[in-house]
Structure 1
Amino acid sequence: MNFNWLLDLVLNQIFGQPFILIGIIVLIGYLAMNQKFSKALTGALKAAIGVIVMGMGSGALIANFNKLIMAIQTATGITGAGLNTYPTMTAAYEKMDAILGSGTGASWGIYTLLVAFILNLIFVALRKFTKIRAVYLTGNAMIVQAGISTYIVWKFLGTGMVPTIIIASIITALYWGIFSTMLIKPTHLITGADFTVAHQQMFISFLAYKLAPYIGHPEKDDIEKKKLPASLNILQDNIIATALVMFISVAIIMLVVGSKNIDWLRGADGLAQAGLKNNIVFLFWITITLTANIYVLLAGVRMFVGEIMMSFKGISEKLLPGAVAGVDCAATFAFAPKSVVLGLIFGTLGQVIGLLGLIIFKSPIFLIPGFIPLFFDNATIAIFANKFGGWKAAGVICTVNGIIQIFGSMLAVQMTGLSWWQGSADYATIWVVVIGVLKAIGSMLGIPVGA
């Protein structure tokens, strides 16, 4: 009897579809917490819908942004790449799918997420030996990080499904556990609460905690005790700040590519907006469209991340009483709102310096900053820096971090061959080292590069 149809149904049609797989995970998680079936089903459906919405936003963002990158490449001959989290994961999956078949990247990434989370729980259960105490629960970051780990292991080691998932899961779980545990003490000193930061700037936040006292005075220079102009409060609105970053980025692109390529962008092969003949109006349309794409993407993420976190958190608390929950870095923002604004300002300064450096040193790759790594990273790092070294430490460390985000990401783009990169602090530092190590191992073993 031929059971190929059954294998296809289970592996491709069900577990090969991220929206179904995420829904099943949430359903199981809620049922394991003894929730009513109606509650579990509602959560599963919301999670599944969220995955689809995320894909719609991400797909539109990548499609529109790629047109801008093509215009840059045509005008300058320079390879362009965007810095943002979710599009990086999607771009990695597209590379895998082109060789392994549609949906393969996402399904492998989800398996890596599950195995890595289980390993994180095991490391915490064995904390007497591992010293790992934090359970990483920031679902949106977990999904992206698991996907990127899956891609770089597959690309540089050329492994099949099972070894790729195992190796990527170990690397990811160690990153989650070690660095979120390192931030338990400083996070408690900032918030007074019993949680830790679990995001993608943990290593640099820890460095800020350690280095800040050597740069400034935590009491005398504390920005939270000083008065900021009311006009800067607008930068705390994520959507407005995203639109501002996009406006500046697109304006620079339009200046670089020139009138001929702007006309191409308006045309049918570009963004299909021939009616917007005024360049200023066209600039605003691109800015608002890209911001809307990101908004849709994040709306989808919020839909399923909330459900995943609830089910994961309930399971982990049941299994590991006393473990420290690792949550989104945004959980610290309310404790230091002025530091958040300071981080955005100095992080932006650092990234501008970094971009000028790419031009001066004639880099073959030009990067387009993204709001998520720019804002969330530098806001979080500034909170740690200000708490332990005041505004001077926050200013210096965030400026340097902005520069590192650009140059580190440029190296990552060169090595991975992706048109997007995370852009976050850890992914411009320690993850560049991880990529370099995997690439070196693959090269020593004579493994052909996957994509």
Structure 2
Amino acid sequence: MVAILEFLRDVLKQPALLMGLMALVGLIALKKPAHKIMTGTLKPILGYIMLGAGADFIVNNLDPLGKMIEHGFHINGVVPNNEAIVSVAQKLLGVETMSILVVGLLVNIVIARFTKYKYIFLTGHHSFFMACLLSAVLGTSGMKGTELILIGGFILGAWSAISPAIGQRYTLKVTDGDEIAMGHFGSLAYYISSWVGGLVGKPEDSTENIEIPEQWGFLRDTTISTAITMIVFYLVAAIAAGPAFVSTLSDGTQPILFAIMSALKFAVGVTIVYNGVRMILGDLIPAFQGIATKIIPNAIPAVDCAVFFTYAPTAVVIGFISSFIGGVIGMVILGALGGVLIIPGLVPHFFCGATAGIYGNATGGRRGATIGAFVNGLLLSFAPALLLPVLGSIGFQNTTFGDFDFGVLGIVLGKASNMLGKTGIFIIVAVMVAALIIPNFLKTKAKAINNIEM
């Protein structure tokens, strides 16, 4: 039984396989010929593997940048990292996490079939992270065994359907009406960024319409502009850290050259991500129509945040920089208040900050991208800081999740458990059930909740 669960866990942790499976089912439902089923199944898988390879390239080259910043500017504190806390938690909660992951996916599919929340969450590694958080936090309320797995699985499946719906009206603005949704547990911060963007700017002033003089026209090439921006970042960090420290990271490469090459590799990683995204969207959306018309009426795929990068490449860079600045200011505020320093993690600030910039741009143009992503940076400082005591109470001191939704759900569930024990968790479950059922009895403009532009 454990071996089967481990196999299912490993499959469900792979968004590439989930996307391929969904494409396969959709193409079969559309009765496509065998050769089109084969290519239509493989392309989303290969596209996501390409996206993952680009993301790994980005992460690997951000790691030395983060270390140079910490050493050069003498910063000590906690760096939020989803993978780090999950690796620790898995040693204690492996079976519970696997079981919640499987139940959560099944619940998500049932919700998509029988309610107006038509979103199927395809970002498997984020579902795995959330399953880990739920197994840890729910255990503090006294839940264990089957009860913990069923309640955790329901919350995971419900949030996987509800979170894309909350901001789908913003996602439609980002994608110009493409039938995809946000399937990433930093989503609430992106929607806040979009809301802020609408307050401070105008969508017609898009970052993608920035006028660039002819002699600077090369900056319109996303790879070139990203490379130049990151070279500045890396050189400043390398100079601040000093050649002696950089040499410990560079494996013998001259420090300045190491900084420049790392920046260029980062830019290449971004380009690989873009190419993978294009391959995913080119085949997943048409194949998903088979599911939406034949199996789960009006189903909408909820996909990873990096899939949205191609919709506003300039906003990606602006969002990253603005979010990182917000994270630095958030860290300073926490220090002034006597709290734990949350050191801005470059990985969440790149992926989440870039996405916040894209969402802010969709409603508020350049100002929306800048200010919306800046707010995202603040949220990525305060939410992990508030989540730390909750995780500390269950034995995970000095580590915390990085993305915003983990902080919100972890804090809400942790506080409810501390105040009311199991009863507090059951109240939250009841609220989720009501949120899922009540819309079925209400008339809405679209067949899927919030799947209509405002």
Superposition TM-score tier, normalisation by shorter sequence: 0.5 to 0.7
> Which residue of 2 is the match for residue 449 of structure 1?
none
TM-score under structure 1 length normalisation: 0.65
SS at match of 1:117: helix
Going from structure 1 to structure 2, the CA distance change for 1:251 and 1:438 (only over 3 Å counts) comes to farther
Q: Is 1:354 aligned with 2:327?
A: yes
The amino acid of 1:126's aligned partner reads T
The amino acid of 1:348's aligned partner reads I
Deviation at 1:118, TM superposition (A): 0.3
Deviation at 1:281, TM superposition (A): 0.6
Cα distance in structure 2, aligned partners of 1:107 and 1:308: 26
Equivalent residues of 2:195, 2:363 under 8 A apart? no
Equivalent residues of 2:277, 2:306 under 8 A apart? no
Listed as ranges, the matches of 1:333-412 within 5 Å are 341=314, 345=318, 348-349=321-322, 351-359=324-332, 361-362=334-335, 364-369=341-346, 370-386=349-365, 396-409=371-384, 411=386
Equivalent residues of 1:112, 1:165 under 8 A apart? yes
Cα distance in structure 1, aligned partners of 2:236 and 2:92: 35
> Which residue of 2 is the match for residue 437 of structure 1?
412
Deviation at 1:247, TM superposition (A): 3.7
> Which residue of 1 is the match for residue 256 of structure 2?
280
Q: Is 1:118 aligned with 2:109?
A: yes
- 1:150 is matched with which residue: 121, 125, 131? 131
Q: Is 1:94 aligned with 2:87?
A: yes
Deviation at 1:227, TM superposition (A): 6.9
The superposition leaves residues 328-356 of structure 1 with CA deviations (integer Å, 9 ceiling, x where unpaired) of: 88998999x6xx74685477345314314
Cα distance in structure 2, aligned partners of 1:225 and 1:51: 26
Q: Is 1:229 aligned with 2:229?
A: no
Deviation at 1:315, TM superposition (A): 1.3
Going from structure 1 to structure 2, the CA distance change for 1:357 and 1:43 (only over 3 Å counts) comes to same
Deviation at 1:149, TM superposition (A): 1.3
Q: Is 1:260 aligned with 2:237?
A: no
Going from structure 1 to structure 2, the CA distance change for 1:255 and 1:161 (only over 3 Å counts) comes to farther
Listed as ranges, the matches of 1:145-224 within 5 Å are 145-158=126-139, 166-183=150-167, 193=177, 195=179, 197-200=181-184, 203=188, 207=192, 215=200, 222-223=204-205
Going from structure 1 to structure 2, the CA distance change for 1:146 and 1:229 (only over 3 Å counts) comes to same
The amino acid of 2:412's aligned partner reads V
**Alignment RMSD:** 5.0
Going from structure 1 to structure 2, the CA distance change for 1:414 and 1:284 (only over 3 Å counts) comes to farther
SS at match of 1:287: helix
Q: Is 1:136 aligned with 2:119?
A: yes
The amino acid of 1:198's aligned partner reads M
> Which residue of 2 is the match for residue 270 of structure 1?
none
- Structure 1 residues 30-39 or 341-350, which shifts more? 341-350
The amino acid of 1:31's aligned partner reads I
The superposition leaves residues 369-404 of structure 1 with CA deviations (integer Å, 9 ceiling, x where unpaired) of: 343222222122221235xxxx66665444434433
Equivalent residues of 1:242, 1:371 under 8 A apart? no
Deviation at 1:262, TM superposition (A): 1.3
Aligned length: 400
Equivalent residues of 2:104, 2:155 under 8 A apart? no
TM-score under structure 2 length normalisation: 0.64
Cα distance in structure 1, aligned partners of 2:194 and 2:42: 41
Deviation at 1:234, TM superposition (A): 6.3
- 1:78 is matched with which residue: 55, 60, 76? 76
The amino acid of 2:87's aligned partner reads E
Equivalent residues of 2:97, 2:131 under 8 A apart? no
Cα distance in structure 1, aligned partners of 2:39 and 2:161: 31
The superposition leaves residues 262-306 of structure 1 with CA deviations (integer Å, 9 ceiling, x where unpaired) of: 12112xxxxxx31x22x2211012223344456556766776676
> Which residue of 1 is the match for residue 31 of structure 2?
34
Equivalent residues of 1:156, 1:438 under 8 A apart? yes
- Structure 1 residues 239-248 or 144-153, which shifts more? 239-248
